[in-house]
Amino acid sequence: MQSILQHEAGNPQPNTQSTPQHIHILGICGTFMGGIALIARAAGYRVTGCDANVYPPMSTQLQEQGIALIEGYDPSQLDLNADIYVVGNAVSRGNPLLEAILDRGLNYVSGPQWLSEQMLCHKWVLAVAGTHGKTTTTSMLTWILEHAGLNPGFLIGGVPGNFGLSARLTESNFFVIEADEYDTAFCDKRSKFVHYRPRTAVLNNLEYDHADIFADLSAIETQFHHLVRTIPQSGRVLCNGGEPALKRVLAKGCWSEVEFFNDTEQWQARLCEGDLVEFLQAGKVVANAHLTLPGQHNADNALAALLAARHVGVTPEQAGAALSEFHGVKRRLEVRGTVRGVTVYDDFAHHPTAIEATLAALRRRVGDGVRIFAVLEPRSNTMKLGAMKDRLVASLHEAAHVFCYSKGLGWDADAALASLNERSHVHDDIEKLIADVRLHAREGDHVLVMSNGGFENVHQRLLQVLA
């Protein structure tokens, strides 16, 4: 097995030209593209960018790094005379700046391709893929390596509490990245993760999602196999053994070492009393950790991170100690405040599987007999299209009341949630939704807000009206 001590790949060379190369990023305020900006700036590039919605916290984080932001996509930005234009996948044909770049034959590239060619090509890349848990698992893995003194670079689709930022570049050989299966750019419809060429790859789980770009689960499995094809023979795949879709992916062909977790014969994570999690190899406890994030899904995330770190020489005991000091990730069961005995949480869950797992984790934290309110915005493209609407009711069984924000949906949320009877409250007006939550809430309740967007700052507004 190739270990940390044997890995001698060099580091990317910083941009040392007397005049730094200038990159201009289209869609810079997205988490991924904002991370690209931070990494490029740290490497010595001159970085500017634009977006249709320049707003905190990403705009503040970028401006603090000396990165100039422009509102909108006016073609006059070509007067900046950038050396290359890095195009985010939120930018599509018809965008005026993109059309001007194409018309003039200027140099452009997608964010994942730029990152791969300029930063990752000399790194030992540890990539975390899966429908759910990518951000949490990537954050855990990054912290384990940091705790072990390996000083990894990283790019994460969220903000880990142990770091306070979503991306950084270091002199370390190791780079940890959240490996997204969404498509790369207007000009490249492969999944982003095919560009990263990891040596260590976590396949955390796999089910149908992204109904706007994938016809069915088989189409996503094909993209995951494209990722598997890029992993070297000396690399390692850490695969969730409880996922039939991932086993189908590996059955198409795998040329690297494979370890299975969530598997009785290899690795398992076992929830114990309180926040203790035990990690077992072939039924024997080899490490444990006290996790701040509750639930079996987070125990499995932690195990996947432990195994990925093990591939670069971090022992399970070291990983367990690090995980006990892991401070979580913003927007993952994040407590936003408690007012008059009512606690409000923020979570990124938007897929029925994630919604059910998050509610189960909160139930484990607060105990039986305590009321949980689910405040849900079905905002993702998959949810807006209604591809998962028939699974919503089953995912919400732990909630005493469900408040669904139906604005912009292409399907009838009232009908989809009708079997919840008086537990269901559907509103297309945010003020009415907030007022309805306030009407029903009482001391001791826990209000779980779930959305993959800003949700019109409903968390803070709820805390204000509850006060």
- Which is it for strands 46-51 and 167-168: parallel, antiparallel or unpaired? unpaired
- What is residue 350's predicted lDDT score, i.e. its pLDDT? 77
pLDDT digits 0-9 by tens, 432-465: 999 999 999 999 999 999 988 778 888 889 999 8
pLDDT digits 0-9 by tens, 78-132: 999 999 999 999 999 999 999 999 999 999 999 999 999 999 998 999 999 998 8
pLDDT surpassing 60 at residue 399: yes
Q: Shortest CA distance to 417 belongs to which of 439, 394, 450, 385?
A: 394
Q: What is the pTM of this model?
A: 0.84
The dihedral sign for the CA sequence 424, 428, 434, 439: negative
The SS3 of residue 268 is strand
Q: What is the residue type of 455? A: F
What is the average per-residue pLDDT within 249-272? 94
pLDDT digits 0-9 by tens, 36-60: 999 999 999 999 999 997 766 677 7
pLDDT digits 0-9 by tens, 351-398: 888 898 889 889 988 889 899 999 999 887 777 777 788 888 899 989
Residues constituting the chain: 467
Question: Who's near 315: CB < 8 A, 6+ residues apart?
Answer: 287
Distance of CA 248 to the CA centre of its chain: 24
Least confident of 141-155, 303-317, 387-401: 387-401
Residue 199 in tokens = 């040596």
- What is residue 381's predicted lDDT score, i.e. its pLDDT? 74
Sheet of 22-26: strands edge to edge?
68-71, 46-51, 22-26, 84-87, 108-110
Q: How confident is the model at residue 248 (pLDDT cuts 50, 70, 90)?
A: very high
Query: What's the rounded Cα separation, in Å, for the pair 189 and 209?
Result: 16
Helix or strand (DSSP H, E) at 220? helix 217-230
The SS3 of residue 40 is helix
What does 293-332 look like in DSSP terms, one character per residue? S-SHHHHHHHHHHHHHHHHTT--HHHHHHHHTT---BTTS
For each of the domains in the chain, give its residue range(s) and CATH number, in order of start.
22-110 (3.40.50.720), 122-323 (3.40.1190.10), 334-466 (3.90.190.20)
- What is residue 429's predicted lDDT score, i.e. its pLDDT? 92
- Helical packing angle, 296-311 and 134-147, nearest 10°: 50
Query: What's the rounded Cα separation, in Å, for the pair 411 and 174?
Result: 45
